[in-house]
Structure 1
Amino acid sequence: MDIPKSEIPFGRVFGELAKEYVGVFTRSLEHLPINRYFYALVVIDNHKGDLSQTTLGDELYLDKASVVRMLDYLEQKDCIKRCPNPNDRRAHILHLTDKARKMIPDIKQAIQNSNKACLKNLPDRSITDFEAEMDIVRQSLQNEPRRNYKLHFVKSED
Protein backbone atom coordinates (compact mmCIF):
# COMPACT_ATOMS: atom_id res chain seq x y z
CA MET A 1 0.00 0.00 0.00
CA ASP A 2 1.37 3.40 -0.97
CA ILE A 3 1.31 6.10 1.66
CA PRO A 4 0.04 9.43 0.30
CA LYS A 5 2.86 11.97 -0.05
CA SER A 6 0.95 14.36 2.23
CA GLU A 7 1.38 11.84 5.09
CA ILE A 8 5.14 11.39 4.71
CA PRO A 9 7.07 13.78 6.97
CA PHE A 10 9.62 15.94 5.18
CA GLY A 11 12.08 14.90 7.89
CA ARG A 12 11.92 11.32 6.67
CA VAL A 13 12.59 12.41 3.09
CA PHE A 14 15.44 14.71 4.20
CA GLY A 15 16.85 11.90 6.37
CA GLU A 16 16.83 9.47 3.45
CA LEU A 17 18.47 12.07 1.22
CA ALA A 18 21.09 12.76 3.89
CA LYS A 19 21.93 9.05 4.17
CA GLU A 20 22.29 8.73 0.40
CA TYR A 21 24.41 11.89 0.22
CA VAL A 22 26.67 10.89 3.10
CA GLY A 23 27.15 7.48 1.48
CA VAL A 24 28.29 9.02 -1.82
CA PHE A 25 30.44 11.61 -0.06
CA THR A 26 32.23 9.26 2.34
CA ARG A 27 32.81 6.63 -0.33
CA SER A 28 34.78 9.17 -2.34
CA LEU A 29 37.03 9.78 0.67
CA GLU A 30 37.77 6.16 1.62
CA HIS A 31 41.41 6.70 0.67
CA LEU A 32 41.93 9.17 3.53
CA PRO A 33 43.27 8.02 6.92
CA ILE A 34 40.05 9.11 8.67
CA ASN A 35 36.53 7.82 8.09
CA ARG A 36 34.38 10.65 9.44
CA TYR A 37 34.27 14.32 10.47
CA PHE A 38 35.60 15.48 7.11
CA TYR A 39 33.52 18.65 7.04
CA ALA A 40 34.72 19.66 10.50
CA LEU A 41 38.24 19.86 9.07
CA VAL A 42 36.99 22.21 6.34
CA VAL A 43 35.29 24.43 8.93
CA ILE A 44 38.44 24.53 11.07
CA ASP A 45 40.52 25.34 7.98
CA ASN A 46 38.19 28.17 6.94
CA HIS A 47 38.69 29.86 10.31
CA LYS A 48 42.47 30.05 9.82
CA GLY A 49 43.47 29.26 13.40
CA ASP A 50 40.82 31.32 15.14
CA LEU A 51 38.13 28.76 16.01
CA SER A 52 37.15 27.57 19.45
CA GLN A 53 35.61 24.21 20.28
CA THR A 54 32.40 25.99 21.26
CA THR A 55 32.14 27.87 17.98
CA LEU A 56 32.80 24.69 16.02
CA GLY A 57 29.96 22.99 17.90
CA ASP A 58 27.65 25.90 17.16
CA GLU A 59 28.52 25.86 13.46
CA LEU A 60 27.97 22.11 13.20
CA TYR A 61 24.88 22.07 15.47
CA LEU A 62 26.57 19.66 17.87
CA ASP A 63 26.35 19.44 21.64
CA LYS A 64 29.46 19.76 23.78
CA ALA A 65 29.91 16.02 24.34
CA SER A 66 29.70 15.27 20.60
CA VAL A 67 32.26 17.99 19.86
CA VAL A 68 34.67 16.53 22.42
CA ARG A 69 34.27 13.00 20.96
CA MET A 70 34.83 14.34 17.44
CA LEU A 71 37.91 16.34 18.45
CA ASP A 72 39.32 13.41 20.44
CA TYR A 73 39.03 11.27 17.29
CA LEU A 74 40.61 13.93 15.06
CA GLU A 75 43.39 14.53 17.57
CA GLN A 76 44.06 10.79 17.91
CA LYS A 77 44.31 10.63 14.08
CA ASP A 78 46.84 13.51 14.18
CA CYS A 79 44.53 15.88 12.27
CA ILE A 80 44.08 18.66 14.82
CA LYS A 81 45.74 20.25 17.80
CA ARG A 82 43.87 21.94 20.62
CA CYS A 83 45.84 24.91 21.85
CA PRO A 84 45.01 27.05 24.88
CA ASN A 85 43.30 30.31 24.00
CA PRO A 86 45.59 33.11 25.20
CA ASN A 87 42.54 35.32 25.86
CA ASP A 88 40.51 32.68 27.76
CA ARG A 89 42.32 29.94 29.66
CA ARG A 90 39.13 27.83 29.77
CA ALA A 91 38.88 27.66 25.97
CA HIS A 92 40.89 25.97 23.25
CA ILE A 93 41.67 27.13 19.73
CA LEU A 94 41.68 24.45 17.05
CA HIS A 95 44.49 24.11 14.55
CA LEU A 96 44.90 21.67 11.68
CA THR A 97 48.03 19.60 11.45
CA ASP A 98 49.99 19.35 8.21
CA LYS A 99 48.47 15.89 7.75
CA ALA A 100 44.94 17.36 7.82
CA ARG A 101 45.86 20.33 5.62
CA LYS A 102 46.89 17.86 2.92
CA MET A 103 43.39 16.30 3.08
CA ILE A 104 41.49 19.57 2.62
CA PRO A 105 41.68 19.70 -1.21
CA ASP A 106 40.33 16.13 -1.45
CA ILE A 107 37.52 16.88 0.98
CA LYS A 108 36.53 20.07 -0.84
CA GLN A 109 36.60 18.22 -4.16
CA ALA A 110 34.43 15.46 -2.69
CA ILE A 111 31.92 18.08 -1.53
CA GLN A 112 31.77 19.57 -5.02
CA ASN A 113 31.47 16.16 -6.66
CA SER A 114 28.78 14.99 -4.23
CA ASN A 115 26.78 18.19 -4.67
CA LYS A 116 27.08 17.84 -8.44
CA ALA A 117 25.95 14.20 -8.32
CA CYS A 118 23.01 15.18 -6.12
CA LEU A 119 21.81 17.87 -8.52
CA LYS A 120 22.91 16.42 -11.87
CA ASN A 121 19.38 15.80 -13.18
CA LEU A 122 18.14 19.32 -12.46
CA PRO A 123 18.42 22.10 -15.03
CA ASP A 124 20.67 25.03 -13.99
CA ARG A 125 17.70 27.30 -13.32
CA SER A 126 16.12 24.68 -11.07
CA ILE A 127 19.35 24.35 -9.05
CA THR A 128 19.34 28.06 -8.27
CA ASP A 129 15.65 27.91 -7.33
CA PHE A 130 16.22 24.76 -5.25
CA GLU A 131 19.03 26.35 -3.24
CA ALA A 132 16.94 29.48 -2.62
CA GLU A 133 13.92 27.42 -1.60
CA MET A 134 15.99 25.28 0.77
CA ASP A 135 17.18 28.49 2.47
CA ILE A 136 13.54 29.55 2.87
CA VAL A 137 12.65 26.14 4.37
CA ARG A 138 15.64 26.35 6.75
CA GLN A 139 14.66 29.85 7.88
CA SER A 140 11.05 28.79 8.37
CA LEU A 141 12.06 25.86 10.56
CA GLN A 142 14.50 27.94 12.59
CA ASN A 143 11.57 30.12 13.68
CA GLU A 144 9.52 27.16 14.94
CA PRO A 145 9.73 25.71 18.45
CA ARG A 146 11.58 22.41 18.45
CA ARG A 147 13.53 19.85 20.38
CA ASN A 148 17.10 19.21 19.33
CA TYR A 149 17.92 15.86 17.78
CA LYS A 150 21.02 14.71 16.00
CA LEU A 151 21.46 12.24 13.19
CA HIS A 152 24.11 9.60 13.67
CA PHE A 153 25.22 7.88 10.49
CA VAL A 154 27.25 4.72 10.84
CA LYS A 155 28.79 2.86 7.94
CA SER A 156 26.68 -0.18 7.18
CA GLU A 157 28.11 -3.55 6.36
CA ASP A 158 28.04 -3.87 2.58
Structure 2
Amino acid sequence: MRKKVDERIRTLIENGVKLRHRSLFLIIGDKSRDQIVNLHYMLSKAVVKSRPSVLWCYKDKLELSSHKKKEQKQVKKLMQRGLLDPEKVDPFSLFLETWRFDHTCLYKDTERILGNTFGMCILQDFEALTPNLLARTIETVEGGGLIVLLLRSLSSLTSLYTMVMDVHERFSYRVPF
Protein backbone atom coordinates (compact mmCIF):
# COMPACT_ATOMS: atom_id res chain seq x y z
CA MET A 1 0.00 0.00 0.00
CA ARG A 2 1.45 3.33 -1.06
CA LYS A 3 1.22 6.33 1.21
CA LYS A 4 1.35 9.92 0.11
CA VAL A 5 4.52 11.74 1.12
CA ASP A 6 3.96 14.91 3.10
CA GLU A 7 3.96 17.96 0.82
CA ARG A 8 6.35 19.79 3.18
CA ILE A 9 9.09 17.29 2.30
CA ARG A 10 8.67 17.92 -1.41
CA THR A 11 8.65 21.68 -0.77
CA LEU A 12 11.82 21.44 1.32
CA ILE A 13 13.63 19.54 -1.44
CA GLU A 14 12.44 21.90 -4.19
CA ASN A 15 13.39 25.00 -2.19
CA GLY A 16 16.79 23.50 -1.36
CA VAL A 17 17.47 22.84 -5.05
CA LYS A 18 16.28 26.29 -6.06
CA LEU A 19 18.36 28.08 -3.40
CA ARG A 20 21.28 25.62 -3.70
CA HIS A 21 21.03 24.68 -0.01
CA ARG A 22 21.64 21.17 1.26
CA SER A 23 18.69 19.48 2.94
CA LEU A 24 19.12 17.16 5.92
CA PHE A 25 16.76 14.28 6.66
CA LEU A 26 16.84 12.05 9.72
CA ILE A 27 14.89 8.84 9.11
CA ILE A 28 14.16 6.52 12.01
CA GLY A 29 13.05 2.90 11.80
CA ASP A 30 13.92 -0.51 10.43
CA LYS A 31 12.34 0.26 7.07
CA SER A 32 13.94 3.67 6.76
CA ARG A 33 15.95 2.66 3.70
CA ASP A 34 12.71 2.21 1.75
CA GLN A 35 12.18 5.98 1.99
CA ILE A 36 15.50 6.63 0.27
CA VAL A 37 13.86 5.67 -3.02
CA ASN A 38 11.17 8.32 -2.52
CA LEU A 39 13.64 11.02 -1.53
CA HIS A 40 15.89 10.25 -4.51
CA TYR A 41 12.89 10.35 -6.85
CA MET A 42 11.78 13.75 -5.51
CA LEU A 43 15.34 15.08 -5.79
CA SER A 44 15.58 13.78 -9.38
CA LYS A 45 12.36 15.59 -10.30
CA ALA A 46 13.49 18.84 -8.65
CA VAL A 47 16.95 18.82 -10.28
CA VAL A 48 16.64 19.62 -13.96
CA LYS A 49 20.03 18.24 -14.97
CA SER A 50 21.11 14.59 -14.86
CA ARG A 51 20.07 12.14 -12.17
CA PRO A 52 21.84 12.89 -8.87
CA SER A 53 24.62 10.52 -7.89
CA VAL A 54 24.42 8.79 -4.52
CA LEU A 55 27.12 8.29 -1.90
CA TRP A 56 26.34 5.59 0.68
CA CYS A 57 28.58 5.54 3.75
CA TYR A 58 28.52 2.88 6.47
CA LYS A 59 30.63 1.50 9.32
CA ASP A 60 31.02 -2.24 8.80
CA LYS A 61 28.63 -3.64 6.24
CA LEU A 62 26.11 -2.33 3.80
CA GLU A 63 22.59 -3.23 4.89
CA LEU A 64 21.95 -5.70 2.11
CA SER A 65 21.09 -9.23 3.08
CA SER A 66 22.05 -12.17 0.92
CA HIS A 67 18.38 -12.45 -0.02
CA LYS A 68 18.45 -8.86 -1.30
CA LYS A 69 21.61 -9.56 -3.30
CA LYS A 70 19.96 -12.59 -4.90
CA GLU A 71 16.84 -10.56 -5.65
CA GLN A 72 19.02 -7.82 -7.13
CA LYS A 73 20.61 -10.32 -9.56
CA GLN A 74 17.16 -11.51 -10.63
CA VAL A 75 16.01 -7.93 -11.23
CA LYS A 76 19.12 -7.29 -13.32
CA LYS A 77 18.42 -10.36 -15.49
CA LEU A 78 14.79 -9.33 -15.99
CA MET A 79 15.84 -5.77 -16.91
CA GLN A 80 18.29 -7.07 -19.51
CA ARG A 81 15.62 -9.31 -21.05
CA GLY A 82 12.99 -6.56 -20.97
CA LEU A 83 10.63 -8.69 -18.89
CA LEU A 84 10.65 -6.53 -15.74
CA ASP A 85 7.23 -5.70 -14.29
CA PRO A 86 7.72 -2.61 -12.04
CA GLU A 87 4.59 -3.44 -10.04
CA LYS A 88 6.00 -6.74 -8.77
CA VAL A 89 9.49 -5.53 -7.88
CA ASP A 90 10.48 -4.04 -4.53
CA PRO A 91 11.25 -0.31 -5.16
CA PHE A 92 14.45 -0.51 -3.11
CA SER A 93 15.76 -3.41 -5.21
CA LEU A 94 14.99 -1.50 -8.38
CA PHE A 95 16.73 1.57 -6.94
CA LEU A 96 19.85 -0.44 -6.11
CA GLU A 97 19.93 -1.78 -9.64
CA THR A 98 19.56 1.60 -11.36
CA TRP A 99 21.79 3.93 -9.36
CA ARG A 100 25.54 3.99 -9.74
CA PHE A 101 26.64 1.53 -7.05
CA ASP A 102 30.33 2.44 -7.17
CA HIS A 103 29.89 5.24 -4.64
CA THR A 104 29.86 3.24 -1.42
CA CYS A 105 32.36 3.98 1.27
CA LEU A 106 33.33 2.72 4.69
CA TYR A 107 33.57 5.47 7.30
CA LYS A 108 37.27 4.73 7.77
CA ASP A 109 37.86 5.36 4.03
CA THR A 110 36.05 8.69 3.75
CA GLU A 111 39.28 10.56 2.96
CA ARG A 112 39.26 9.07 -0.54
CA ILE A 113 35.90 10.67 -1.42
CA LEU A 114 37.12 14.19 -0.75
CA GLY A 115 37.14 16.24 -3.93
CA ASN A 116 34.12 14.39 -5.39
CA THR A 117 30.63 15.80 -5.60
CA PHE A 118 27.42 13.87 -5.04
CA GLY A 119 23.76 14.80 -5.22
CA MET A 120 22.74 12.66 -2.26
CA CYS A 121 24.63 11.27 0.73
CA ILE A 122 23.28 8.45 2.88
CA LEU A 123 24.92 7.90 6.27
CA GLN A 124 23.88 4.48 7.48
CA ASP A 125 25.38 3.78 10.91
CA PHE A 126 24.66 6.96 12.82
CA GLU A 127 26.23 5.69 16.04
CA ALA A 128 29.61 5.37 14.32
CA LEU A 129 29.75 8.98 13.13
CA THR A 130 32.38 11.36 14.42
CA PRO A 131 32.40 15.11 13.81
CA ASN A 132 35.20 14.73 11.24
CA LEU A 133 33.36 11.97 9.36
CA LEU A 134 30.20 14.04 9.32
CA ALA A 135 32.05 17.08 7.98
CA ARG A 136 33.90 15.05 5.32
CA THR A 137 30.79 13.38 3.97
CA ILE A 138 28.52 16.43 4.05
CA GLU A 139 31.21 18.45 2.29
CA THR A 140 30.90 16.21 -0.77
CA VAL A 141 27.18 16.95 -1.26
CA GLU A 142 26.50 19.61 -3.87
CA GLY A 143 24.31 22.62 -3.19
CA GLY A 144 20.70 21.56 -3.45
CA GLY A 145 21.56 17.97 -2.52
CA LEU A 146 20.27 15.72 0.24
CA ILE A 147 21.94 14.34 3.33
CA VAL A 148 20.08 11.38 4.82
CA LEU A 149 20.91 9.99 8.26
CA LEU A 150 19.50 6.51 8.87
CA LEU A 151 18.76 5.46 12.43
CA ARG A 152 17.66 1.89 13.01
CA SER A 153 15.58 2.55 16.07
CA LEU A 154 15.18 4.99 18.88
CA SER A 155 12.63 4.52 21.61
CA SER A 156 12.18 8.26 21.62
CA LEU A 157 13.94 11.25 20.15
CA THR A 158 15.00 12.31 23.64
CA SER A 159 17.38 9.35 23.75
CA LEU A 160 19.26 10.90 20.82
CA TYR A 161 21.42 13.07 23.08
CA THR A 162 22.18 10.17 25.46
CA MET A 163 23.17 7.77 22.68
CA VAL A 164 26.67 6.36 23.10
CA MET A 165 28.61 6.90 19.90
CA ASP A 166 31.99 5.56 18.78
CA VAL A 167 33.59 8.98 19.25
CA HIS A 168 32.87 8.79 23.00
CA GLU A 169 35.43 5.99 23.37
CA ARG A 170 38.22 8.53 22.89
CA PHE A 171 37.30 10.52 25.96
CA SER A 172 38.07 9.45 29.49
CA TYR A 173 35.63 10.46 32.15
CA ARG A 174 37.94 10.08 35.15
CA VAL A 175 37.54 12.65 37.84
CA PRO A 176 40.93 13.78 39.22
CA PHE A 177 41.22 13.73 43.02
- Shorter-chain TM-score above 0.5: no
Bigger fraction of residues in helix: 1
Bigger fraction of residues in strand: 2
Q: What interval of TM-score do these two structures reach, taking the shorter chain for normalisation?
A: under 0.3
TM-score, with structure 1 as normaliser: 0.25
**Relative contact order higher in (CA < 8 Å, ≥ 6 apart):** 2
TM-score, with structure 2 as normaliser: 0.23
